[in-house]
Amino acid sequence: MLTLVQYRSGVCNTANCRRKRECTKRHKKHSTTSCKSAPIPQAQLPTPVKVRPASTVAQEQDEKSETYTSLAPDERGQTMALLFFLQTLAVSTVAAQGRFVDLTHALDTNTVYWPGSPSFKFNILSRQQQDSFWYESNNFSTAEHGGTHIDSPSHFSKNQWRLHEIPLNNLIGPGVVIDISARAEKDPDTQVEIADLFQWEEKHGKIPEGAIVLMNSGWDKYWPNKTAVFGSSTPNNSSTFHFPGFSPRTARWIIANRKYINAIGVDTPSIDFGQSRDFQTHVTVFGANIVGLENVANLSRVPVTGATVFAIPVKIRDGSGGPLRIFAMINDVNRAGINHPEILCMMVTFISILLI
Ligand SMILES: [Zn+2]
Ligand SMILES: [Zn+2]
């Protein structure tokens, strides 16, 4: 059994003190035995302590002058500042982690595919109790271009990245949401124009490096109603489609002025609008190895700025595209306009040290 006895600041006069430096800080006086057991790191205890065997308790009680419980005022101030720093750091870390919004439609047999592609198939191989455990296993098959998916640049541009070649760095970036939902409600053939990007930049500054620029036309509300998603009563005939996309003019402006972005994405089946015949938006952005994201969901739940978007596809070798898990991490601190919470944390801590 051990007993804790506390000391306040003083000088260690023990000749054979093995940890002189710590003792000098912590002990008024002590024996060689206590010196060997000291110091107990201050970080482990609220006040400096020394551990002693129970057999020495009686002797300790006789040495009343050696036993104290409180810190000197300067030590108390430093301890409070340290605790406040740790608390602020913990709070800012939690805030910086943010919250997540899933931007992915689940793959199932209702998933909408571009005409000509086979539909999603899902077959149960096993779903039963074995001797000592439960076991499930399935087969699935899917075309590349259906549901929430990615277009590799190679889809419309020879010698550009195929799916497994797209660097991870190009699949993650600050979200830039261009909201044209009010316009799309009245006109399914509307497109993201250069003026929409200018409007966004007027309010939020220049589109950031590595951005993932996403069109929110409100189209995900139609999912998975095939005729509504394609805006056509004949969803097997692509010439009859009516849904929004990025205009080729906007794509050319991006390549000329904001080529550093990582991706453009839409909540409709194609980054070119439904009435496109030559898919010039695909051709233009893929020529610069900017990737495309299609049938993205839940964009009305993502702020127009202040989110980080992760667009992570299945890694299919030589794929021209494939199923995508895309989500946004919304930083609530960023939403308040504070882009560097760690700096805020340090400032608050510094002020607290001055005040204590
Ligand atoms: Zn596609
Ligand atoms: Zn596409």
Q: What is the mean pLDDT of each run of 10 residues along the chain (356 residues)?
A: 37 46 43 41 42 46 42 64 62 63 98 96 98 98 98 98 98 98 98 98 98 98 98 97 98 98 98 98 98 98 97 98 98 54 60 62
Ligand nearest to the CA of 113: 1
Distance 56 CA to ligand 2 centre (A): 80
Tell me how far the alpha carbon of residue 198 lies from the centroid of ligand 2, in angstroms.
24
Ligand nearest to C-alpha 279:
2
pLDDT for position 271: 98
Question: 191 near 247, Cβ under 8 Å?
Answer: yes
Ligand 1 centroid to 294 CA: how many Å?
6
**151: CA distance to ligand 2 center in Å?**
6
- Distance from the CA of 294 to the center of ligand 2, in angstroms? 7
What is the whole-number distance in angstroms between the Cα of residue 24 and the centre of ligand 1? 71
How distant, in Å, are the alpha carbons of 142, 177, 199, 250 from that of 196? Answer: 35, 10, 5, 9
Distance 118 CA to ligand 2 centre (A): 16
Distance, C-alpha 56 to centroid of its chain: 56
From residue 270, give the alpha-carbon distance in Å to each of 148, 150, 164, 263, 324: 11, 10, 21, 13, 14
Q: What is the pLDDT of residue 85?
A: 64
Residue 232 CA to residue 222 CA, distance in Å, equals: 12
Ligand nearest to the CA of 143: 1
Per-domain boundaries in the chain: 2-70, 99-119+148-330
The DSSP string of 113-155 is B-TTSPPPEEEEEEEEE-SSSEEEEEEEE--SSBSSEEE-GGG
Closest ligand, as measured to the CA of 270: 2
What phi, psi does 243 have (nearest 5°)? -155, 155
CA 244 – ligand 2 centroid, Å: 13
Task: Quote the ligand 1 centre to 300 CA distance (angstroms).
Answer: 22
Which residue in this structure is represented by tokens 């060689």? 32
Indicate which ligand has the atom closest to the C-alpha of 156.
2
The CA 229 to ligand 2 mean position distance, Å, reads 15
Topology of domain 99-119+148-330, CATH: Glucose Oxidase; domain 1 (3.50.30)
Per-residue pLDDT, 14: 47
- How far does Cα 4 stand from its chain's mean position? 46
Q: Return the H-helix or E-strand segment holding 174.
A: strand 172-179
Q: How far is the CA of 152 from the centre of ligand 1 (A)?
A: 8
Check whether the bond before 174 is cis (ω within 30° of 0).
no
Q: What is the C-alpha separation between 66 and 52, in angstroms, rounded? A: 14
Q: Which ligand is nearest to the CA of 271?
A: 2
Per the document, the length of the chain is 356
Residue type, 203: K
Residues less than 5 Å from ion ligand 2, measured at CB? 151, 270
Q: Which two tokens stand for residue 157?
A: 């541009």
Residue 80: its pLDDT value, please? Answer: 66
Quote the ligand 1 centre to 125 CA distance (angstroms): 29
Q: Which ligand is nearest to the CA of 145?
A: 1
Distance in angstroms (rounded) separating the CA atoms of residues 200 and 226: 31
pLDDT at 117: 96
DSSP conformation class of 38: P
Going from the C-alpha of 91 to that of each of 100, 114, 311, the distances in angstroms are 18, 46, 28
How far is the centre of ligand 2, averaged over its atoms, from the C-alpha of 278 (Å)? 12
